[in-house]
Structure formats: C-alpha cells, structure tokens
Amino acid sequence: MSKTKINEINLIPFEDKYGKWGYKDKTTKELIIECKYDYVDDFEEGKALVRFGNKYDFIDAKGNITVGDFKKKFKFFEGLAIVKSDYRYGFINTKGEVVIPMKYNDANDFKDGLALVKFDGRYGFIDAKGEEVIRINYGYALEFSEDLAAVRTEFDNKWFYINKNGEFVIGGRYGYDNALSFCNGFAAVAMWDTFGGKPWDGAYQWAYIDKEGNKICEFIYWAEDEPGQFCNGLASLQNGDQKYGYINTKGEEVIDFIYDCAYGFEDGKAEVELDGETFFIDTEGNRINANDNN
C-alpha cells in the first residue's frame, strides 16, 4: 500500500481553538493539513470536501486543491461528485473533469450505478455516463431503495413503484396518493381519506405493503408527518383518536395505541411520550427503567 493511500485512510478532521478545521493523523495525532478551513469533510476516494469562506474545493491528502472552482461541490460517490454552477447541477470525476454536463435542476448522489436527477421540472434516473436509463418523465421520484423506487406520475399525481428497468411493478391500475421508500422489506403507502373520518384536514390514511405489493394492514392509520419505518419488526402509527402505537409485519397491533408520540425502535427500545412524560419501552411495550441496562 502506498504512503499516500495510508495518509488518506489515517487523516481525520480536527478543529483548533479558533474554530478552524484541518486534518490530523488519527494514529500519531500529528497535524498534517493546517487548520484554515471553515468546514471539512471526511476523505473518500482520495478526496475531501473543504470550504474556505464561501468557496468549496476538493483537496488531496497533502492539502493540494485537486478540483477546479464551482459554486458548490458535494462528496464523491462511486467515483463521481455533484457540482453546481449557477443554477445547474452536473457531475465530475476524481480528476475534476466534468463528465456529466451541468444541465440539471437538481441531482442526487450515485447509488448502485444510478442517480436521481431533475430536468425541466421532471424526474428520472441516469447512469454514470449521463445516459437517461429511466426516462426523466415523472412529476416526482424517490431514490431506489431495496431495488425499487417510488415515482409519481405527472398526469394524475398517482404513486407507483418501478424496478431498475423502469417497469411499473407495484401500484396496480390506480396507484396510491402517497408512497414512501422501502425499508426492511416494507413501504408505507397512503390514500386520501374519502369518508370524512380524518382527525385533521389534509391527512392521508396509511397502510404498509410488502415487496410484492400485498397490503399487510388496511388504510386505517394516520400520520401528521410520515409513518415510521419497520425496525425490530415494529412500526409506529397513529389511530383515529390521534394516539400512537405499534404494528408488526403481519399488520397486527401489538403495542397499544395509547401514546401521545412514538418513535422507531432501535436496539430493542423505542422512545415514547405519554401525558407529558418521555420514556423508553421494549418491543413488548414494557416500560424500561432508567437504570435498566437493557
């Protein structure tokens, strides 16, 4: 392994007493790149994004600027980084060469060979050559997650799921009124309340589907913002009484809908609020005491 490569791995951001940033060797603690930047990021693919005043640059492990000036730059993913010039976005390679023209209204990082972009008010996906592999023809779109992407058609504002070939695979004939990305095998989808039972104006009724498009529960749940994702096999939702609880991946209500607020599970516990008190519960709904190591 080359010395330069070792330095790239070992360099970590460091802030001095004046609030300026540079890089230290994480093993020796030696200051390698002086603290003169207002913002620095981690090294990735041999480059680090830094900001000096209002100017962004990429530097190498020796502190040399490696990429020309743009209005804004982002981190490298899969060998490409988003750059912005005026009001348009494009992509550069690690040599600083513009390899995908700056013509997009917006752009997301590359992931598994595809990047979500916006052009002329519509969304689609391009590959690393800048070729349009999924037509830029949607009113809105989310990034691919678990090989599926939620997209909203422009002509009727309905949501469907497509695969990486751009084929509609979930949503049937009529689609959904809202849809979120897949996580741990499930996605939340919604329909507008048409029965007058919504607890507040402008609310959706939510359900969850699996990757075959099968509902695991009915459209009877609510969310002021967005419903929770499945973590530890449980997801938080809100009922018509505006109380939160949890369902499992079979759609069964396994933790009572009694909470004023409820968050996702992590490492077997979730934070909830009840009558002005905040505490943690386990996956069976039992309260976890502050001195409980579990």
Give per-residue pLDDT as tens, 166-208: 999 999 989 999 999 999 999 999 998 655 555 455 578 899 9
Neighbouring CB atoms inside 10 A of 247's CB total 24
Say if residue 163 is exposed, middle or buried (CB neighbours under 10 Å; 0-12, 13-18, 19+): middle
Which amino acid is located at 41 in the chain? Answer: D
Cross-strand partners of 271:
280
Q: Which two tokens stand for residue 15?
A: 């802030």
Predicted TM-score (pTM) of the model is: 0.76
Enumerate the β-bridge partners of residue 245: 237
What is the rounded (10 degree) CA torsion for 230, 236, 238, 242? -160
pLDDT score for 135:
95
- As a whole number of angstroms, the distance between CA 96 and CA 115 comes to 19
Average pLDDT per 10 consecutive residues for the chain, totaling 294 residues: 51 94 92 93 82 81 76 79 85 86 94 96 96 96 97 94 97 94 96 61 83 94 84 92 94 96 94 96 92 58
pLDDT of residue 240: 83
- Fold (topology level) of 1-66: Thrombin, subunit H (2.40.10)
Q: What is the pLDDT of residue 68?
A: 60
Identity of residue 44: E
Show the tokens assigned to 148.
């599926």
Write down the pLDDT at residue 71. 59
DSSP state of 93: -
Measured CA to CA, the distance from residue 145 to residue 162 in angstroms comes to: 11
Instruction: Note whether 69 and 57 are within 8 A (CB).
Output: yes
Rounded distance between C-alpha atoms, residue 213 and residue 288, angstroms: 36
- The confidence score (pLDDT) of residue 184 equals 94
Closest CA to 228 of 244, 240, 212: 244
Distance separating alpha carbons of residues 55 and 53, to the nearest angstrom: 6
* Amino acid occupying residue 267: D
